[in-house]
Amino acid sequence: MSEQAPLLSIRDLKTYFVTGAGAARAVDGVSLDLYPGETLGIVGESGSGKTVTSLSILRLIPEPPGHIMPGSLIEFEGRNLLTLSAAELRAVRGNQIAMVFQEPMSSLNPVFTVGDQIAEVVRVHLGLSKPEAWIRAVDMLNQVGVPDADVRACEYPHQLSGGTCQRVMIAMALMCRPKVLIADEPTTALDVTVQAQILELLEKKQAEMGMSVMLITHDLGIVAGAADRVLVMYAGQVVETAKTEDLFANPQHPYTAGLLASVPRLDGGRGSLTGIPGSVPPATDWPSGCRFHPRCPHAWDKCRAQEPPLLDGPNPGQSARCWLVEEPNRRKAP
Amino acid sequence: MTALVQVDGLVKHYPGRRGWLGLKPSAPVRAVDGVSFSIAAGSTLALVGETGSGKTTVGRTLLRLVEATEGRFSFDGIDVFGLKSGPLRALRRRMQVIFQDPSGSLNPRMTVGDAIAEPLIIHRLASRAERPVRVAELLGEVGLDPSFAPRYPHELSGGQRQRVGIARALAVRPDFLICDEPVTALDVSVQAQVLNLLKDLQRSHKLTYLFIAHDLAVVRHVADEVAVMYAGQIVERGPVDRLYADPKHPYTRALLSAVPVPDPRAPRDRIVLSGEVPSPTNPPSGCRFHPRCPHPLKDAFCSSDVPGLREVTEGQWASCHYAEKPMAGTTL
């Protein structure tokens, strides 16, 4: 996969927010590549910067208070999205790069029927007439598994369940057959059986359309099942990246390992969960050195003083922002 | 062990809205429809279900935050639903609740110390002089430094706020805690800390828990017994190990199979249910799960006859006509 050219490349993305308590460095030097046809999982807890990263790609960050800092690069098919004009960007947004958000109910417009909202996408981007767009919208609703699509298309968001609303959002996102689908916590607000339906739908549509998916979630279980590669974020930075199997089998960063040990499992028994002491620091005040050091069981002087770069780990494509990669004998037994 | 909590035939119907002319009211919302369970002193029963299954309503009726339509709740031999307001208030000292959203359940204008002292004042459990000592003690019990007392809720993280919520519930030294989705709003690393705290407190304070949750993996770590709710009824109940290893009801099986497993090499045989949870105003005839049931033996009988909750194997109860012939599929 790495011989292929990436479809989307992010280099040194910095998105800062002006707050009363100083600059919040929400995303602070993130680099990543998304290859054609793959699913990249982005995992992190609240405040890690995963959502701000995804919003920065389509420049959906409210400015001010947000600022994407000079020197950041978001390259999609050879063009830097950060330097496009508003009109050029609109042609990409929702067309070649589409997004699905966490809360379908609040992302849909309550005063238009869902059919109109889905049809609008192709009327704007492809210039289709109203009746043509409507036919496509109903067809897409059908494809995303909404029963009685022609009836449902005439309904308003409040008449639909959360799961159906999320199907509507997915239908909207897929209308222009995007090359990249950014799904930000697409199932977090949904019940587990509905979540299973939505994940299956995303998987099926990806296989049919061959698009790349950036799947942003806090749930390691979802990533394990859906992603080819994973990127773990903490305190505005990428702290580890690896193929999904390598990440779960052999996590290099103590934060990744801590996260894995915190996840309650169905086969877990009544034993204690490990957890990670403390909580994520505020974005206005990242710790010195390695940002994870105050919560890290292995930390030593160097971690407090020097910030580690992403260091190559044992498996191809795996790297971690941790000095332990260079000094593995410092790793304490669990 | 004796049962501290005994609930029989609990029903909560909300009356339907009346039409424009006040004629024909629409059908009542049957939020909880005949739920029975008991919890032994010192143990944890987890009530699991999806949105709209009625699990939260069960908790609220037990606390009498809403009045039950029918049914009995006996707490340590006391008929709770029959109590007048005076004795009920006295009993509430023994029954406390922890809510899901710690930022919504703490008064933003009260310091942490005042919030924890409030139940001590209401129930006259500590004199003015004793209060700060008791508050510091309670903060210590939930793993917070006494220096948190003068702070305000907005200065705390979600996990710390939930710890304050727990300290507040513990202030009156209750016997029974209803935990309504206590870790749902928390990040996974913090969630583990709070779950461990709840388990430690159960041991040290001999607490009995009704743990209401939607996350089956979380429940696995805290519960002794599990009851699975669907459309206002319990469809399966049993000891946690057996229920997870060998679920008897097709809904339990589907629910378990839908939980994402944090292991890329785990076999994935998700049972994806079709359709949606039925409307509580008009539940399906017969077995309420029959329109979505993936069981191969499903037949006309399922849509006509209501399956009662019955003991399928020792201690494990399920309401399915074909519970003895479990479907092939996921085993854990």
Shortest Cα–Cα distance, B104 to chain A (Å) = 18
* Cβ atoms of B260 and A224 closer than 8 Å: yes
Contact state of B332 with A46 under an 8 Å Cβ cutoff: no
Half-sphere exposure of residue B75: CA atoms within 13 angstroms, side-chain side: 24
Which backbone phi and psi does A17 adopt, to 5 degrees? -120, 140
- Residue A131 exposed, middle or buried by CB count within 10 Å (0-12, 13-18, 19+): exposed
| Partners of residue A46 in chain B, C-beta under 8 Å | 158, 187
Q: Identify the pLDDT of residue B20.
A: 65
Shortest Cα–Cα distance, B192 to chain A (Å) = 5
Contact state of A224 with B262 under an 8 Å Cβ cutoff: yes
| Residue A20 contacts B, CB cutoff 8 Å | no
Interface of B with A in 160-199 (CB under 8 A): 160, 187-193, 195-196, 199
3-state secondary structure A59-121: CCCCCCCEEECCCCEEEECCEEHHHCCHHHHHHHECCCEEEECCCHHHHCCCCCCHHHHHHHH
Contact state of B262 with A260 under an 8 Å Cβ cutoff: yes
- Identify the H or E element spanning B276: none
Contact state of B273 with A193 under an 8 Å Cβ cutoff: yes
Q: How confident is residue B19, by pLDDT bands cut at 50, 70 and 90?
A: low
| Partners of residue B196 in chain A, C-beta under 8 Å | 272-273, 275
* Cβ atoms of B39 and B5 closer than 8 Å: yes
Mean pLDDT of B256-276: 83
Q: Which two tokens stand for residue A255?
A: 């934060």
At B131-167, the pLDDT tens digits run 999 999 999 999 999 999 999 998 888 889 999 999 9
Instruction: Indicate whether this model's pTM tops 0.90.
Output: no
Interface of B with A in 130-159 (CB under 8 A): 157-159
User: Position A333: which residue type?
Assistant: A
Count of CB contacts below 8 A, A vs B?
Answer: 143
| Partners of residue B217 in chain A, C-beta under 8 Å | 221, 263-266, 268
Mean pLDDT of B104-111: 88
Using CA atoms, how far apart are residues B230 and B260, in angstroms rounded to an integer? 20
Q: Identify the pLDDT of residue B332.
A: 37
Contact state of A192 with B258 under an 8 Å Cβ cutoff: yes
Interface of A with B in 143-172 (CB under 8 A): 161-164
Q: How confident is residue B327, by pLDDT bands cut at 50, 70 and 90?
A: confident
DSSP lists the bridge partners of residue A17 as A24, A66
- Identify the H or E element spanning A29: strand A22-34
* Preferred mutation among A245, A266, A274, A315 to probe B, highest tally of B CBs within 10 A: A266
Task: Render each residue's pLDDT in chain A as its tens digit; 334 residues.
Answer: 446 889 999 999 999 999 888 899 999 999 999 999 999 999 998 889 999 999 999 999 888 889 999 999 999 988 999 999 999 998 899 889 999 988 877 888 999 999 999 999 999 898 999 999 999 999 999 888 888 888 899 999 988 888 888 889 999 999 999 999 999 988 887 888 888 888 888 999 899 999 999 999 989 999 998 999 999 999 999 999 999 999 999 999 999 999 998 888 887 766 668 888 888 888 888 999 999 999 999 999 999 999 999 999 889 999 999 999 999 888 887 6
Cis status of the peptide bond prior to A178, with omega within 30 of 0: no
| Partners of residue A264 in chain B, C-beta under 8 Å | 191-192, 195, 215, 217-218, 220-221
* Cβ atoms of A290 and A323 closer than 8 Å: yes
Which residue among B157, B214, B260 sits closest to A279, beta carbon to beta carbon?
Answer: B157
Nearest chain B residue to A272 by CA distance is B196
Chain-wide mean pLDDT for chain B?
89
Confidence check: pLDDT of B5 > 90 = yes
Number of H helices, E strands in chain A: 12, 13
Q: Identify the pLDDT of residue A103.
A: 80
| Partners of residue B189 in chain A, C-beta under 8 Å | 45, 258-259, 262, 275-276, 279
DSSP 3-state of A288: coil
Contact state of B262 with A163 under an 8 Å Cβ cutoff: no
Contact state of A268 with B221 under an 8 Å Cβ cutoff: yes
Of residues B329 and A329, which shows the higher confidence score? Answer: A329
* Preferred mutation among A152, A191, A250 to probe B, highest tally of B CBs within 10 A: A191
| Partners of residue B222 in chain A, C-beta under 8 Å | 270
